[in-house]
Amino acid sequence: MKGAWTVRQTTPADEDRLSRLIKQSERVVLRFQADDLASYLTQEPFLLAEEAGRLRGFLAFFMRWFPRAIVAAAGLADDWAISPWLDRLLPRCVAHLRDHGARSLSYFGAAVWLTGPLQERGFQLVSHVVAYEKTGWTMPGMGSQAVRVRPVKPTDFSALVALDALVFHPLWRNSTEALNRWKETLPYFVVVMMGEEPVGYCYCSVEREHGHLIRMAVHPAWQGRGIGTRLLAEAMHFFRQAGARLITLNTQEENEQAQRLYRQFGFRLMGREAVALWMGL
């Protein structure tokens, strides 16, 4: 790389140059709409690299699922090498995340140009993520009727955090802050109760006629008793009432038990969606 280079936090004044790079470069990943760029420039850790005044690349992270941080955006000019870009921006971003209490950093995506270099710098491959979709409302049954399904309450969060620790790799675990965010922003978030104990939960989103099952989990001690079937059946009822026509979900490729349940409900495997990479901080 020739010429003097600098790394700095973005400002609103950088929007036009970043927009041009996003439109022109082949090596760009975004977890938000390009039209929403301006709103992210000062809200999240968002660094850019310049060489002799020319914008060469950028790297940004979400911290909204604290203490987990997620790669929100990455891009570099077509004539700039990947290694100098990552070696300058990634350590600065990691230091910022650690200083602000983040405990892990994750990447979800299918950008081959990025996944390899991230793994070379300490990211671990946790899973391949597969996508399923469903139309129609056929179901194999309603599952266990011995449990009660109700809207989530803040008093449930500690039990759900403990449940996540038993079920999921750290990459997928929710914190209390993340659960509260889901509760406040999503139209559907329920827990399944065995007596007074939460033994599973599910939350979903709906946009126009598209419903997405974001998360469904059952405590290991209660799996195999029809609770997952009950949660999924209740979610299908919600989607139908909300006017959804297409239902989608993502799950880990190795989660064969969950995939069998989804297929019983008529979901079709659409293929690999992304890889999931994780690094502890």
* Burial class, 181, CB count within 10 angstroms (exposed 0-12 / middle 13-18 / buried 19+): middle
Same domain? For 163 and 201 the reply is: yes
Specify if 214 maps to a domain: yes
CATH number at residue 45: 3.40.630.30
- pLDDT score of 1 more than 60: no
Average pLDDT value for residue range 181-188: 95
Q: Which of 62, 94, 122 is the last residue of a domain?
A: 122
Residue 3's pLDDT is 58
Same domain? For 108 and 178 the reply is: no
DSSP state of 174: P
Q: What angle do CA 93, 95, 96 make, to 5 degrees?
A: 65
Q: Which of 122, 144, 165 is the last residue of a domain?
A: 122
Same domain? For 136 and 256 the reply is: yes
Residue 2's pLDDT is 54
Same domain? For 69 and 173 the reply is: no
Average pLDDT value for residue range 254-273: 91
Residue 36's pLDDT is 84
Q: What angle do CA 195, 200, 201 make, to 5 degrees?
A: 120
Residue 54 CA to residue 96 CA, distance in Å, equals: 24
What range defines the domain where residue 157 resides?
131-273
Q: Which of 76, 102, 122 is the last residue of a domain?
A: 122
Specify if 278 maps to a domain: no
DSSP state of 184: H
- Give the dihedral sign, CA 240/245/250/251: positive
Per-residue confidence band for 51, with pLDDT thresholds at 50, 70 and 90: confident
CB 205 within 8 A of CB 187: yes
pLDDT tens string 63-83: 777 788 889 899 998 888 888
Q: What is the percentage of the chain residues whose pLDDT exceeds 90? A: 53
Residue 93's pLDDT is 86
pLDDT tens string 154-184: 999 999 999 999 999 888 899 998 899 999 9
Specify if 178 maps to a domain: yes
Average pLDDT value for residue range 120-138: 92
How many separate domains does the chain show? 2
Same domain? For 268 and 139 the reply is: yes
